[in-house]
Amino acid sequence: MQENNGENSIGGEEEEFSLPEDEAQATSPENDDKKGRKGGKKPVAGAAKQVKYFLLQTFRRRTGGEYSELLTRGVRSTKGVNRAYPWAYFRLFVMLFILYAVFLLIIRFTGNELFGPAVTALAATMFNLPFLLLMFELYPQRDMSFIFVLFVLLVGGTAACVLSQALFATFPYPNEWLAAVYAGFFEELSKAVVTVAAIVMARKNTPLSGFIIGAAIGCGFSIVEDMGYIFVLSNELPALNLTTIISVSFSRGVTAFCTHSIWTALVGWAYCHFKRHMFNALNYVVLAAVCGLHICWDLPLSYVGRIFVCGGCVIASLTAGIVVVVMERKAVFRTAGITKAPQDYFKQDKLTVNERHYLYWKHWGRFTLALGAFLMAAIAVVYCYIPFRETYGTETFDDAESFVEFMQNGEEFDYDPNRPYNTHDLSGNTDEVTVNGTLSQVTQRVVAGGDAFDYVYSVFYDAVDNTYHYMLSQIAVEQVTAEGAHIKYIQESLYNDGRLYATFFRLNSSVTGFNFESDGKITVFIYDASFVRDLGEPRYVALFATFAAVFGASVVCYIGLEIKSRRVKKLCLTENASFAE
């Protein structure tokens, strides 16, 4: 059986992807290693051949019919099994990565933070969605569509987030060690409850369907959590910290497939695999193991300790996930009566590569262009990661007094932090806010020590006593610069372990964030935006030259292969015309 790549149409129109059911079932040599052992071949050679074929299938040209079959699987085609190698997940990852790099460059060159949410969303989905699509492509049955999987991701992931946050709000953790325990139990229990509910409502109770549903819910949970971490950690600066965005997105992205997604997938698989479902102790053993992995992952250990513990969690999670997928896929194929691939399967693959077919050259031309775009995106991400335009420094303070002095540039302010509202002197009232005719907020200005202070009060009306109650909610100081500009600084409060550490006015605009050390000291991060781009800066020149070289090479290769494709097409048409005569 020769696989239909759409390369037998000289006119250039791609044929509809349609294979007989019995042939479509035999599109993978997963059991070819058994055949190789029977024929005297070494298992290593058989495994190497499968890896080679996997790569060929990942990068070969795909027809519109194959895209249609993937997107309509479970909708239009629901019977039979599928043994095609995964391929769409890699294309999805490349597309998301290139878009991610484009938006990073926009922020880097323009400083426009309006593109921050787009970068955050792409960073959170760049690894999670391709992994979920890979799991869907490995799902051999055709009774589930990717649209359904995305629906489970959105609804199930949201429901798991809501449930877990309700548990965190009900049972606050007292310290960082118990925080890891609470996170492990609350989050995994929330995802498990939602996974079981989704399996029951969808009536998909096969082991692999439970695995996919669990993976979708875990993936949705992971996307929401990753977006939150990226957003919170990258907004410490006056402008978005692209270095933090990139480091967090990649550190959490590369571990996405071995944490939330795979943990919840194992819970969904166990629920469907073991009989008597909720009454089987093995289900709870798997759930407890998953909770244990999550707790170990979040433990507040030293840097070296975290490497060893998290490394063990990765190995355990991936091993369990791979074993489950391989085992259940073989069970599905065995039930369908498929035991091995065709004897001449690898030989047939060579027949599909007709070097004289113009579509062959057109495909590799487009592949070269896509590869160039991917490499340029990688260079762009490296460029955005290196702080060309700014430099950073730190200052560490032992006490709150020295910290406040640094934040206020050594200035002291004569203000009353507990000042009551002066109902006798309303001449200082500068702003009043009313809601339905009732006063809700008022600002009084007081001049003290040469500075003007604005005290903002929240106003509450007591209908019984017919009186207003004023509560001080904010204090601001206004200063006039040497150029005559009026700048207002709002008082900030900084807490450490739930206790008030210091109150201050942030006159030092170079400070970007704070970090409390374990010994109670506070480290201040300082930002310097005075850098003027220098085209002679070595790192900048090296990246720019590499970017230009990749761009030029990919365009030249694409044009050359496109010309080759047109010549071969013309030659084929000429030969066909001569044959017809």
What digits encode the pLDDT tens for the residues 379-434?
999 988 886 555 667 788 989 999 999 999 899 888 888 899 988 888 888 888 88
Q: If pLDDT is split at 50, 70 and 90, which confidence band does 47 have? A: low
Backbone φ and ψ of 398, nearest 5°: -85, -25
pLDDT, tens only, 61-78: 888 888 888 888 888 777
DSSP state of 519: T
Q: How is 253-298 classified by DSSP, letter by letter?
A: HTTGGGTHHHHHHHHHHHHHHSTTGGG-HHHHHHHHHHHHHHHHHH
CB 293 within 8 A of CB 183: no
Burial class (CB in 10 A: 0-12, 13-18, 19+), 483: exposed
pLDDT at 9: 36
Average pLDDT over residues 477-488: 81
pLDDT at 389: 52
Residues 399, 407: Cα–Cα separation, whole Å: 13
Q: Work out the mean pLDDT of the chain and round it to a whole number.
A: 82
**Strand order of the sheet with strand 499-505?**
429-435, 438-448, 451-462, 467-480, 486-496, 499-505
pLDDT, tens only, 421-469: 988 888 888 888 888 888 899 999 998 877 899 999 999 888 888 888 8
Give me the amino acid identity at 296. C
Residues 108, 120: Cα–Cα separation, whole Å: 14
Backbone φ and ψ of 92, nearest 5°: -65, -40
Number of H helices, E strands in the chain: 17, 9
pLDDT at 44: 54
- Listed in sequence order, the DSSP H helices in 386-493 are 400-407
pLDDT at 576: 62
Query: Which residues have C-beta within 8 Å of that of residue 488, sequence separation ≥ 6?
Result: 454, 476, 477, 478
Distances (CA, A) of 76 to 22, 32, 71, 85, 562: 18, 30, 9, 20, 35
Q: If pLDDT is split at 50, 70 and 90, which confidence band does 222 have? A: very high
pLDDT at 51: 77
DSSP state of 421: P
CB 157 within 8 A of CB 213: no
Average pLDDT over residues 194-218: 94
Q: For the whole model, what pTM was predicted?
A: 0.70
Query: Which residues have C-beta within 8 Å of that of residue 373, sequence separation ≥ 6?
Result: 98, 554
Beta-ladder partners of 514: 524
- pLDDT of 341 higher than 60: no
- pLDDT of 267 higher than 50: yes
Residues 92, 100: Cα–Cα separation, whole Å: 12
Q: Locate 527 and state its tokens.
A: 């930002």
Task: Please name the helix (run of DSSP H) or strand (run of DSSP E) that holds residue 524, with its range, or none.
Answer: strand 522-528
- pLDDT of 218 higher than 90: yes
Q: How many CB atoms lie within 10 A of CB 273?
A: 23
- Which range among 115-129, 130-144, 380-394 shows the weakest confidence by mean pLDDT? 380-394
Residues 133, 504: Cα–Cα separation, whole Å: 50
Residues 133, 153: Cα–Cα separation, whole Å: 12
Decide the pairing of beta strands 451-462 and 438-448.
Answer: antiparallel
pLDDT, tens only, 293-335: 999 999 988 888 889 999 999 999 999 999 999 999 989 888 8
Q: How is 234-263 classified by DSSP, letter by letter?
A: HTTSSS--HHHHHHHHHHHHTTGGGTHHHH
Helix (H, G, I), strand (E, B), or coil: what is residue 141? strand
Q: If pLDDT is split at 50, 70 and 90, which confidence band does 153 have? A: very high
More confident residue, 165 or 20: 165
Please calculate the CA angle 423-426-432 and round it to the nearest 5 degrees.
Answer: 100
Q: Whose structure tokens read 């093995």?
A: 282
- pLDDT of 26 higher than 50: no
Residues 260, 286: Cα–Cα separation, whole Å: 14
